[in-house]
């Protein structure tokens, strides 16, 4: 999860998030180079006497500053499209979880476990245990295995919500009357936090998401849901 004074993105817990962080760094380097070039040209303009009268007719320069931005856009667009298609891939998921957004809590359904359904509410401050996180911990966590493809089916029962877990690179809208899906494969165990990322009413800030990721062997031993 994020910590105080954090500048960069959260540590990746899925291959998709690793790709997103790599693309972020790639695009940031291009932005730095563009900013440096513009500042350097501005500095020369302010400090150099413009005595060359032929600069207004520099066809070669106009060609360069037309083609160069197009090349830069291609260098940004290609990896972006690659990641976009990767996020839409569904490769024979091992487990399917249905998440339903409400005002203001989440309902989860384990469709592969006989329709196990439970609600997940934010823990009030009076019920927090030592080590729990205020406004982020819930009474019932979603327990999932690592190193297995998971499919999330996401919808809403009332208004627009958004199911988002930054460390997994997930953010999918929950729309009433529509079933969206996303897939992920977690690479390391732990407890990971997210929140509703769509303004959904007065208590929008109080819809946390908590995933408890455990090794696949432990998950296969039996239900370990924190109900």
Buried b (16+ CB within 10 A) or exposed e, 207-223: bbbbbebbebeebeeee
pLDDT at residue 51 above 80?
A: no
- Which has the closest alpha carbon to 183: 13, 16, 12, 10? 16
Q: Taking the CA of residue 46 as centre, how many other CA atoms within 13 Å lie in the half-sphere pointing to its CB? A: 6
Lowest mean pLDDT segment, chosen from 5-9, 34-38, 99-103, 191-195: 5-9
Q: What pLDDT sits at residue 226?
A: 47
Lowest mean pLDDT segment, chosen from 24-33, 53-62, 94-103: 53-62
Lowest mean pLDDT segment, chosen from 11-20, 23-32, 42-51: 42-51
CA 202 to chain centre: 24
Per-residue pLDDT of 113-162, as tens digits, reads: 777 899 999 999 888 888 888 889 999 999 999 988 999 999 999 899 99
Q: Tell me what the pLDDT averaged over the chain comes to.
A: 87
Cα–Cα distance between 55 and 107 in angstroms, integer? 65
Taken in order of first residue, the domains within the chain and their CATH numbers are 15-88 (1.10.287.90), 95-221 (2.60.40.420)
Model confidence pTM above 0.85 = no
CA 205 to chain centre: 17
Per-residue pLDDT of 91-115, as tens digits, reads: 788 889 999 999 889 999 998 877 7
């Amino acid at each position: 999860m994020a910590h105080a004074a954090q500048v960069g993105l959260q540590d990746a817990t899925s291959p998709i998030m690793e790709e997103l962080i790599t693309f972020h760094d790639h695009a940031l380097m291009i932005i730095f180079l563009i900013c440096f070039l513009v500042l350097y040209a501005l500095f020369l303009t302010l400090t150099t006497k413009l005595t060359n009268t032929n600069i207004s007719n520099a066809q070669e320069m106009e060609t360069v500053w037309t083609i160069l931005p197009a090349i830069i856009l291609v260098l940004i667009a290609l990896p972006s499209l690659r990641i976009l298609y990767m996020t839409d891939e569904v490769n024979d998921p091992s487990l399917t979880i249905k998440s339903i957004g409400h005002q203001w809590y989440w309902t989860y359904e384990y469709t592969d476990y006989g329709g196990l359904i439970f609600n997940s509410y934010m823990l009030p401050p009076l019920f927090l245990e030592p080590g729990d996180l205020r406004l982020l911990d819930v009474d019932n966590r979603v327990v999932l295995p690592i190193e297995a493809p998971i499919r999330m089916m996401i919808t809403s029962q009332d208004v627009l919500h958004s199911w988002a877990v930054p460390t997994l690179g997930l953010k999918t809208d929950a729309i009433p009357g529509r079933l969206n899906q996303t897939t992920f494969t977690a690479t390391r165990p732990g407890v990971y936090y997210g929140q509703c990322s769509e303004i959904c009413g007065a208590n929008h800030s109080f819809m946390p998401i908590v995933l408890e990721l455990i090794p696949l062997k432990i998950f296969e031993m039996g239900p370990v849901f924190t109900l």
